[in-house]
């Protein structure tokens, strides 16, 4: 139920937001008109116009939705595999002491190396096709998910565990009914981080080697010195990144209602 007060507040906030965006665009337009930066930078009007046009007129081989779909096709399979494996390994490492001591050193070896730094070697290993990109995205998703799953399984309230034990639950039952539900919020925040990391990484991977995708839009604009196209690419990447984050948050709200996120 939304009362009128809340609605009013929402309307007020969106007006403020609109004003601030308009002011920003005006400053941009004004700056481009009057200063030297106008020689290299297009105004906001042109960028928005070109962005809308990119839905109908292809840039390179595809239109904007085509490029976005290509990038998503690279992100999603690897993201899903990386997340599932990350959750399984992370929970196991957080819950079983010996699994942790065996896998920890290996994980600590991978963790500090940013996924982007794997690009050259993954190209050597998997060629310049989709394989190398999937590998990188897999790493980008895997590392944060493992980290969060570990801390989820480790931070289970000991009181609850003792309660379960006292009431005669066996280890399996405790794991299924206490440890797993307790770690879900942590896992979700890992999934959230992993998704934005994967999106950023695919952009980087496409910038380094590809012939389609949103990262390609940006990098090909560099070759042709077309700044408008690069800004159009940035707008596209920002919008998709935003939508992905919002979708993830919605999913979390639906799937784990018991999470209390203080904000």
Residues in touch with another protein (CB under 8 A): 13, 16-21, 23-24, 37, 40-41, 97-98, 100-106, 109, 112-114, 116-121, 123-125, 196, 199-200, 203-204, 207-208, 215, 218-219, 221-222, 225, 227, 230-231, 233-234, 237-239, 241-242, 245, 262-263
Mention every residue, 6+ apart, whose C-beta is less than 8 A from residue 27.
Answer: none
Which one, 31 or 77, has the nearer CB to another protein?
Answer: 31
Q: How far is the CB of 200 from another protein (least distance, A)?
A: 3
What are the backbone angles phi and psi of residue 2, rounded to the nearest 5°?
-115, 115
CB of 117 to another protein, least distance (A): 5
Rg (the chain; Cα; Å): 23
As measured in angstroms, the least distance from the Cβ of 234 to another protein is 5
**CA torsion angle for 120, 132, 66, 48 (degrees, to 10)?**
-30
Handedness of CA 133, 138, 139, 140 (dihedral sign): positive
Sign of CA dihedral 156, 158, 164, 170: positive
Nearer to another protein, 1 or 40 (CB): 40
CB of 89 to another protein, least distance (A): 13
Min CB(124)–another protein separation in Å: 6
Count Cβ atoms below 10 Å from residue 2 Cβ, excluding itself.
7
Q: What are residue 59's DSSP bridge partners?
A: 62
């Amino acid at each position: 139920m939304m009362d009128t007060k809340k609605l009013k507040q929402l309307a007020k906030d969106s007006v403020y937001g609109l004003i601030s965006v308009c002011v920003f665009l005006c400053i941009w337009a004004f700056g481009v008109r009057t200063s030297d930066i106008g020689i290299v930078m297009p105004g906001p009007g042109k960028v928005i116009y070109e962005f809308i046009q990119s839905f109908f007129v292809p840039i390179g081989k595809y239109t904007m939705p085509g490029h976005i779909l290509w990038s998503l096709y690279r992100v999603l399979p690897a993201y899903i595999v990386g997340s599932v494996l990350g959750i399984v390994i992370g929970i196991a490492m957080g819950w079983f002491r010996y699994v942790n001591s065996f896998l920890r050193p290996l994980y600590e070896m991978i963790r500090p190396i940013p996924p982007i730094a794997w690009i050259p070697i993954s190209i050597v290993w998997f060629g310049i096709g989709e394989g190398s990109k999937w590998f990188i995205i897999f790493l980008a998703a895997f590392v944060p998910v493992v980290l969060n799953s570990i801390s989820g399984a480790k931070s289970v309230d000991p009181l609850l565990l003792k309660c379960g034990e006292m009431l005669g639950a066996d280890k399996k039952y405790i794991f299924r009914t206490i440890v797993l539900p307790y770690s879900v919020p942590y896992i979700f925040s890992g999934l959230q981080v992993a998704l934005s990391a994967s999106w950023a990484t695919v952009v980087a991977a496409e910038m380094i080697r590809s012939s389609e995708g949103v990262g390609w839009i940006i990098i090909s604009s560099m070759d042709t010195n077309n700044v408008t196209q690069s800004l159009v690419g940035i707008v596209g990447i920002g919008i998709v990144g935003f939508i992905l984050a919002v979708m993830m948050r919605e999913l979390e709200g639906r799937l784990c209602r018991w999470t209390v996120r203080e904000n």
